[in-house]
Amino acid sequence: MQQRLDFITLGVADLDAARRFYRDGLGWTPLLDVAEEVVFFQVGHGVVLGLFRADKMAADVGAGPPAGPVGAGVTLSHNVDRAEAVAEVLAAAEAAGGTVVKPAQRADFGGVNGHVADPAGYLWEIAHNPGWSVAPDGTVRLEPIG
Amino acid sequence: MQQRLDFITLGVADLDAARRFYRDGLGWTPLLDVAEEVVFFQVGHGVVLGLFRADKMAADVGAGPPAGPVGAGVTLSHNVDRAEAVAEVLAAAEAAGGTVVKPAQRADFGGVNGHVADPAGYLWEIAHNPGWSVAPDGTVRLEPIG
């Protein structure tokens, strides 16, 4: 299994609410939108975020509880290039219908972050991390700072 | 808020189990490994997967329950270029310490998929989707098939 993630799919009880937030609120362009089922957005070089109606997603995975202990939480991160942009993007996401869970503040990793929940409760971290950068070929640099 | 995902971070109660699965079992190379806290893997062009010790992750997000209704589930997808490779990769992930939740089978989208849970219960979909491809510049093609 190669070291590669192609899709991240989030189950949502209310697909229309997800569309309103991501497409109408944030202004994102769908890659593929299937009525009453799923909407996909390209969110990076070769990477797709899907919002999948929860009942159809559960049917795809099959019956039965998840194996092993339940995960302790998931955060999607969106990085910005200025510390001040963290608060700005949190405000924009809130205006789009999100709920700010943690306002912009100094983070343990040495930069600034804050968190906003989408309408289904999925958390986005908005972060400015001087220890992170991406080279033109896609190679990520990630170093502890502070 | 631009249409971009930089990190996906999964909270795990047992960070060593996550290391054993992703690093030792699957043979993935860490980008950054902080003892007793977090391990990051680059999983695409500019994209990072983090396994974060759940208590430290919760402390970063802050106290309080998540806003809004709880999400209905998350699936990470790893696509392969042959239908037969779905079963092969599921078997490799199982050998690495994962638990197969759904064996390889014909999927609603017209291709083949199957699901395997990592030690914390996070689901990976292994999929072969003839309607999906990525151009050299990172542009994703995603079309309904079948």
Question: pLDDT tens for residues A43-71?
Answer: 999 999 999 998 888 888 775 444 333 34
Q: Would the pLDDT of B66 be above 80? A: no
Asked if A117 lies within 8 A of B66 by C-beta distance, the reply is: yes
Count CB neighbours of A144 within 10 A.
9
Q: Are A6 and A46 in contact (CB under 8 A)?
A: yes
Shortest distance between the Cα of B65 and any Cα of chain A, in A, equals 9
Residue B63 has a pLDDT of: 54
Range of weakest confidence among A15-29, A59-73, B100-114: A59-73
**Is the confidence at residue A139, as pLDDT, over 80?**
yes
- Predicted ipTM beyond 0.90: no
Could you give the residue ranges of the DSSP H alpha helices within A21-82?
A: 54-61
Residue B61: which pLDDT band, with cuts at 50, 70 and 90?
confident
Alpha-carbon span A23 to B131, nearest angstrom: 23
pLDDT digits (tens, 9 = 90+) for B33-51: 999 999 999 999 999 999 9
pTM of the model: 0.88
**Contacting B residues, span 83-122, partner chain A, CB-CB under 8 Å:** 89, 92-93, 96, 99, 101-102, 107-108, 113, 115, 117-122
pLDDT band, very low/low/confident/very high, at A91 (cuts 50, 70, 90):
very high
| 3-class secondary structure, B25 | helix
Model confidence at B146, pLDDT cuts 50, 70, 90, reads: low
- What was the pLDDT predicted at A68? 38
Whether residues B140 and A78 touch (CB distance < 8 A) is answered with no
> What is the separation of C-alpha A98 from the centre of its chain, rounded to a whole number of angstroms?
12
For the record, the structure tokens of A79 come out as 């990085």
Beta strands B38-44 and B123-128: pairing type? unpaired
Residue A72 has pLDDT above 80, yes or no: no
Q: What percent of chain A has pLDDT over 70?
A: 92
Asked if the model's pLDDT at residue B78 lies above 70, the reply is yes
N residues, chain A: 146
Give residue B69's pLDDT band: very low, low, confident or very high (50, 70, 90): very low
* Closest listed residue to residue A105, CA positions, set A130, A72, A128: A128
Cross-strand bridge partners of residue A122: none
Q: Render the burial of B92-115: b for 16+ CB within 10 Å, e for the rest.
A: bbeebbbbbbbebeebebebbbbb
Q: What is the mean pLDDT of residues B86-112?
A: 94
User: Does B42 touch chain A if contact means CB atoms closer than 8 Å?
Assistant: yes
Q: Check residues A146 and A54 and name the one with the higher pLDDT.
A: A54
Average pLDDT, chain A: 89
**Number of residue pairs across A and B with CB atoms under 8 Å?**
256
Give the residue from chain A lying closest to B68, CA to CA.
A121
**Percent of chain A's residues with pLDDT above 90:** 71
Per-residue pLDDT, A121:
84
pLDDT of residue A74: 86
Residue bearing tokens 């697909």:
A15
Q: Is B46 on the interface with A (CB under 8 A)?
A: yes
Q: With pLDDT > 70 as the criterion, what percentage of chain B qualifies?
A: 92
Q: What is the mean pLDDT of residues B127-142?
A: 94
Enumerate residues 10 to 39 of chain A having a beta carbon within 8 A of any beta carbon in chain B. Answer: 10-13, 26, 28-29, 31-32, 34
Q: What is the mean pLDDT of residues A24-31?
A: 95
| H or E element, residue A117 | strand A112-117
Confidence of residue B129 (pLDDT cuts 50, 70, 90): very high
Please report residues of A whose CB lies closer than 8 A to that of B122: 71
Q: Do A7 and B31 touch (CB under 8 A)?
A: no
Give the model's pLDDT for residue A146: 62
Which of the two residues, A120 and B62, has the higher pLDDT score? Answer: A120
For residue B131, give how far its alpha carbon lies from the nearest alpha carbon of chain A (Å): 11
Record: contact A9-B77, CB cut-off 8 A:
yes
